[in-house]
Amino acid sequence: MAKSFRRGRLSTRLATAPPQRGAARPSTPSAKNSRLRSGCFARFVDSLIRPFVDSLIRPFVDSLIRPFVDSLIRPFVDSLIRRFVDSLIRRFAQFTNLPISQSATIALLLTLPALLPLVAPGYFFNAHDGHHSVFWLVEFDQTIRDGVLWPIWAPDHVLGFGYPLWLVYAPLAYIVAELFHLIGWGFVAAVKLTWALGFLVGAAGMYRLARRWWGPAAGLIASLAYTYAPYHLVDIYVRAALAEFTALAVFPWALLALVALWDDPRPRRAAWASLALGALLLSHSVALVTFVPLLGGFLLLQLTSSWLGRRATDDDRPRSLVVGRRSSVVGLRSTVWTGIALLLGGLLAAIFLLPFLLERRYIVEASWLSGTYDFRLHFVYLSQFFSSFWGFGYSVEGPGDGMSFQLGLLQVIGAVVGVVGAFAKRNTQYAIRNTHHASRNTQHATRITHHASRITHHASRITQSPISNLQYLVPFLVAATLFCLFAMTSAAQPIWEALPLVGSIQFPWRLLGLTTVTLALLCGAAVHWLEDDPTRAGVEPSGEPTSAGTSTPKRGSAPSPYVYVAALAFVLASFAYTRPELVPIRPQDESPLAVIEFETEHPDMRGMTLWAERVPVDADSPLLAQYLAGQPVTKAAVATGQGSILEQDHTATSAHVRVRAETEVRLRFYTYYFPGWQATVDGRPVEIAADPPNGLIGLTLPSGEHDVRLRFGPTPVRRVAAGLSLLALGGILVLWFVGRRPVQIAFQA
């Protein structure tokens, strides 16, 4: 049976072989009469019925129905939507007393449904990293309370041996969660507040970015397209990837800060850009190979579009105005201040980046980059980008993944409309610009008399970035989206294998985070084109070109009611994806025991250092039974020789032991050996070594009674990194407090 679609219904018919070329078709009298009747009927319709419909019914529709719709129905719908929105915003403003705009208020209100599960009882512990997102905060808190300002060591990992978790895992999200915990919230509640803050910060950043370029309507749609992008919701409710979710929230602010700095280079904006870039680098370990290249692409686009904009400006000026040199000065100034911000932002994150790059060789990374973490097993099939499948399972080899990799239907439609609008707007701009050039040639003498006003106009064109022009930005966003989609498929495997650092991403589908940003911005561009008046594309009401070649709506103008309908559609399209699998919270979920339970259930998740010969098994750690029984953990023991432990206590990053040795003994701490651990015996520093097979800390003691202290401290690399970050923070504070608005450049004829 072969399937065919006819008039919207699925029908089946017997599959018959098509007639061969040159074969004679059967001809019967009934067939000939049927063709004759159908031809006569068609001529009758074309000659009588269709002209009658065109002459009678169409004028009736144009004269009565369409004016009725335009004069009554459409204004009624518009006013109804506007009254509802105005009433909602007025009530919200009275409740919060926040001076925010109408479109920003709607964006905030429509973002709230996405985080409603966070106020429900329970937590999504069954998500991929659901347990990690909580017990890592428990580990972080222990280290902070031990007096360590920048944690490195997670004391309860690997069956109690400890692990340098924060050496390879960016800590920004847990710094925020720890602040919530220190003011009184529980561990799960603090993590939930961090998730909610990530939702709001990311939505606000995307709104501000799109609004800066294209107005409030574009900001509203871009914000909601970003918030309700399927992968954005996968990140929290399916994967519980707190660090990646935080990076997605910070990235729009980093891009916004750099764009604002380029448009108006001054010290305070450079300070903001440095802080935003530093936060991005501290938010996720793989941000250096995912978000930073995209940010670099935007900066390159900024530089290129600004140079092209200055060339267009210089070509449009009368030859008597010599301002090209000054425009180059302004562009150089933006470049210098952007370079300063990038340098300070990178140095601010040096406290994490330098140890991450230079000391990660002391851990066995193969355990996190092979097996189930091998990128070759996690390429995405093209159909999965457009599949509506949703699940809470894991990524597996082949197309049978238990989680969704969809881009989002409305996000794709909005992006396509944005691309079409960019090209349509470009053609309109060219037509209007040609007309404008012709009129300028006839009015050249008159305009020379308005020399001062022309100088002001061109100066504003130089200082504002033309990146907001759809002509430049949309092709870049499309290219970035297509490249990310290509890089997530198996066709890009040679690229992944040729660049070893890229393999640290682990899962190619993580690049969906980048498409979440690019598609959201394309949706904003689509609204900008649809909301914009095409007769004003590229010109001011006075007939002068706009500063960026576009007619960006004013920030105070209210979006069309249909923009609110589109915004609500984004919410409804993904609302079903905001329902995680919530489970009750047990007391042990907020204790170090949660780490032990997880590693007992998943032994492949136990990390190794360079000095460990194999992955630890349960029998290697006598601490395991103590954890499970709820007993105090004793992390020191006499491995060889005759002696006894008189007293011992430990914290997250230190241990104190009193030993009585009858002979020479080998004291062993059930703690991984790693650079930074230092020991003293009776107040004198001693050498420590890694005892096989697990690479645990060991030291030799002579006979007698000894006081042994162990402490995890900084290495030379970490000291230098901390110094560079403090230096960068000082520079940022100097820029913030002494920054003043630059003196306006005066142009001379």
Residue 338 has pLDDT above 90, yes or no: yes
CB under 8 Å, gap of 24 or more: what pairs does 581-588 form? 581/124, 581/126, 581/127, 581/392, 582/117, 582/120, 582/121, 582/122, 582/123, 582/124, 583/122, 583/123, 583/124, 583/125, 583/126, 584/121, 584/122, 585/121, 585/122, 585/123, 585/125, 585/188
The alpha carbon of 338 is separated from its chain's Cα centroid by a whole number of angstroms, namely 22
**What pLDDT score was predicted for residue 374?**
86
Rounded average pLDDT over 211-227: 93
In this prediction, what percent of the chain has a pLDDT beyond 90?
A: 59
What is the pLDDT confidence band of residue 308, given thresholds at 50, 70 and 90?
A: low
Rounded average pLDDT over 403-413: 95
Contact status, residue 176 vs residue 194, Cβ threshold 8 Å: yes
Q: Residue 624: left if φ>0, alpha if ψ -120 to 50, beta else—which one?
A: alpha
Work out the angle between the directed axes of helices 409-442 and 470-487 (0-180°, nearest 10): 150
pTM of the full structure: 0.80
Contact status, residue 138 vs residue 591, Cβ threshold 8 Å: yes
d(CA 318, CA 320): 5
Residue 454 has pLDDT above 90, yes or no: no
**What pLDDT score was predicted for residue 21?**
34
The alpha carbon of 19 is separated from its chain's Cα centroid by a whole number of angstroms, namely 56
596-606 pLDDT, tens digit each: 999 999 988 89
**What pLDDT score was predicted for residue 45?**
52
d(CA 577, CA 695): 45
What residues contact 623, with CB distance under 8 A and at least 6 apart?
159, 160, 161, 633, 634, 635, 670
d(CA 201, CA 235): 15
d(CA 83, CA 74): 14
**What pLDDT score was predicted for residue 546?**
39
Beta-strand ranges (E) seen in 49-172 are none
Select from 550, 586, 416, 397 the least CA-distant residue to 472: 550
Q: What single letter denotes the amino acid at residue 516? A: T
* Mean of the per-residue pLDDT values of the chain: 80
Contact status, residue 476 vs residue 297, Cβ threshold 8 Å: yes
In this prediction, what percent of the chain has a pLDDT beyond 70?
A: 72
Question: Three-state SS for 689?
Answer: strand
Residue 384 has pLDDT above 70, yes or no: yes
DSSP 164: -
Provide DSSP, 73-105. IHHHHHHHHHHHHHHHHHHHHHHH-----HHHH
3-class SS shares of the chain: helix, strand, coil, % to 5 = 60, 10, 30
d(CA 342, CA 336): 10
**What pLDDT score was predicted for residue 89?**
55
Contact status, residue 429 vs residue 538, Cβ threshold 8 Å: yes
Q: Burial-class residue 449 by CB neighbours within 10 Å (0-12, 13-18, 19+).
A: exposed
- Strand order across the beta sheet in which 677-681 lies: 643-650, 654-661, 704-712, 677-681, 684-686
d(CA 563, CA 103): 10
72-83 pLDDT, tens digit each: 555 655 565 556
Rounded average pLDDT over 324-341: 73
What is the pLDDT confidence band of residue 461, given thresholds at 50, 70 and 90?
A: very low
Residue 556 has pLDDT above 80, yes or no: no
Q: What single letter denotes the amino acid at residue 306? A: S
d(CA 402, CA 186): 32
Work out the angle between the directed axes of helices 409-442 and 512-531 (0-180°, nearest 10): 50
Contact status, residue 518 vs residue 302, Cβ threshold 8 Å: no
Contact status, residue 137 vs residue 190, Cβ threshold 8 Å: yes
* Encoded tokens for 97: 């007393």
Question: Three-state SS for 134?
Answer: helix
Residue 649 has pLDDT above 90, yes or no: yes
Winning range, highest mean pLDDT, from 1-15, 182-196, 550-564: 182-196
Work out the angle between the directed axes of helices 512-531 and 561-574 (0-180°, nearest 10): 160
More confident residue, 431 or 64: 64
Cis status, amide bond into 584, omega within 30 of 0: no
Buried b (16+ CB within 10 A) or exposed e, 343-370: ebbbbbbbbbbbbbeebeebbebeebee
Pairing between strand 684-686 and 9-13?
Answer: unpaired
239-296 pLDDT, tens digit each: 999 999 999 999 999 999 999 999 889 999 999 999 999 999 999 999 889 999 999 9
DSSP 545: B
